[in-house]
Amino acid sequence: MMRVKGQNIENVKVINRSSTFRLLLANGPLSRIDIAAELNVTPATVTSICNELLQKNLLVQHEELDSPGKVGRKKCPVGLNYDYKHVLSIAIFPDSATLSICNLAASLVDSVVVPTRRSLSPDLFLAHLAERCIKLLWDNQLAKDRILGVGVAVLGPVNHIEGISLKAYSIWEQPVPVRRLLENELHIPVYVESNVCALIEAALLYGEIEHPNVLAVQWGPGIGSVSVIGGKVFKGRNFHTAELGHNFVDGIGERCRCGKVGCLETKLSVDAIAAEMERLSGLAKAKALRALRDRVGPPCRENLDKYLEVAFPPLEDYLKDISFRLAVVVNNAVQVLAPDRIILFGELFANNRLLEYFKEKIFSINETIVDDMFLRSDFQSRHTYIGATACIVKHLLVDTGGLNEAAKTHA
């Protein structure tokens, strides 16, 4: 690790430990020689870091991997101790909140879904969630000191420094000091982040994103987006991120949850698509759509995938049209931000037909955008817990070098 002005030896140690965690979280177990090469430090430095972290039980020594035919020094890999502590994660959506316990690799241990009670005041609802968290810990026989921290992911912009949800669209109208309210109940450190930023933190931490400049776009249920610049999630004025969903596209249609009319999101959210499917199923020639409707019920978020598979020319035209609208806005963002990669999240991008239409449209708009630039996140099936978990692992373990997380309880 290079010494720069303002760094003392203690700082350098924290940075080295922090880089070691980062490397192991993204790559899995590595030999000391490989760690030294990756971090550009001497093997002696790595040995000293590893000994200290092995002693604290933060790392584990893995068995020698059999590599027949290979001669020379043994490469004994070390890895992060994923069960050093657990993480509690809370993801709050308009209809429900998911409470989960994960290990440090964001592998799910247990979870419970509770309805989001919008009729309760935020402090009463959060107290209710805290109660359910305590029950979940109890059911899993986990004492509070086994929990590294509580990660919270909510919709809308978040002041992550103070843990305040600024405007959780469709959940809370006003700013809510989520961290303070939950820490008062749980007495465990809490970290709050916006849902999309948290997902990107997971992609950065667990090795999905390897490039420094990335545009992340989430399609479904709404439209979310974040830009990563120089390896860091970018937030600007009032903790806002790149919000492609609230691009103005035309002045007609439904009022957006942000309060404006004409936002892209109102044209191609899951709800907007379901409403259009319903309209199309009323057309004279829509026999296949109506047959499906009889079988699975009116189009909604839960059955939308089935509707998306139906072959019906007006449906195909509609899907191509919304894919084009999204492609235009993503293309414009690419022109502004010049990302190395574009990572795609969300249940609608998980649909192959929509993904294909979207790519077809964006390639037709801009030939400098090529297939290699796209990456579809594998984290969709884990989206209710991986983001909040990653935030805790990053802020309480990686960034601190694993040193003061135990001392970092609330005031």
Q: Report if residue 258 touches Zn ion, rule: CB under 5 A.
A: yes
Amino acid at 396: L
Which segment (116-124, 257-265, 313-321, 343-351) binds Zn ion by CB under 5 A? Answer: 257-265
Residue 117 near residue 96, CB atoms below 8 Å:
no
Which segment (239-247, 279-287, 298-306, 394-402) binds Zn ion by CB under 5 A? Answer: 239-247
Name which of 36, 13, 35, 40 is nearest 24 in CA terms. 35
Site size toward Zn ion, by CB under 5 A = 5
Which segment (14-22, 46-54, 240-248, 354-362) binds Zn ion by CB under 5 A? Answer: 240-248
Peptide bond into 299 cis (omega under 30): no
Question: With b meaning 16 or more CB within 10 Å and e meaning fewer, what string describes 115-134?
Answer: ebeeeeebbebbbebbeebe
Q: Report if residue 263 touches Zn ion, rule: CB under 5 A.
A: yes
Closer by beta carbon to Zn ion, 167 or else 394: 167
Enumerate residues 6+ apart whose C-beta is below 8 A from 51.
none
Closer by beta carbon to Zn ion, 246 or else 361: 246
d(CA 284, CA 302): 25
Can you give the C-alpha Rg of the chain in angstroms? 23
Q: How far is the CB of 263 from Zn ion (least distance, A)?
A: 3
Closer by beta carbon to Zn ion, 181 or else 249: 249
Name which of 341, 342, 349 is nearest 380 in CA terms. 349
Closer by beta carbon to Zn ion, 151 or else 221: 221
Q: How far is the CB of 277 from Zn ion (least distance, A)?
A: 22
Torsion sign over Cα 355, 275, 200, 247: positive
- Determine how many CB atoms are found less than 10 A away from the CB of residue 234: 16
d(CA 350, CA 363): 19
Q: Report if residue 246 touches Zn ion, rule: CB under 5 A.
A: yes
Tokens of 334: 């690419």
Q: How far is the CB of 168 from Zn ion (least distance, A)?
A: 14
Closer by beta carbon to Zn ion, 16 or else 241: 241
Which segment (60-68, 254-262, 321-329, 385-393) binds Zn ion by CB under 5 A? Answer: 254-262
Amino acid at 117: R
Q: Report if residue 202 touches Zn ion, rule: CB under 5 A.
A: no
From 97, 130, 256, 322, residue interacting with Zn ion (rule: CB under 5 A): 256
Q: Report if residue 267 touches Zn ion, rule: CB under 5 A.
A: no
Q: How far is the CB of 363 from Zn ion (least distance, A)?
A: 27
Closer by beta carbon to Zn ion, 136 or else 256: 256
Q: How far is the CB of 256 from Zn ion (least distance, A)?
A: 3
HSE toward the beta carbon, residue 401, CA cutoff 13 A: 12
Q: How far is the CB of 337 from Zn ion (least distance, A)?
A: 20
**Binding residues vs Zn ion (CB under 5 A):** 246, 256, 258, 260, 263
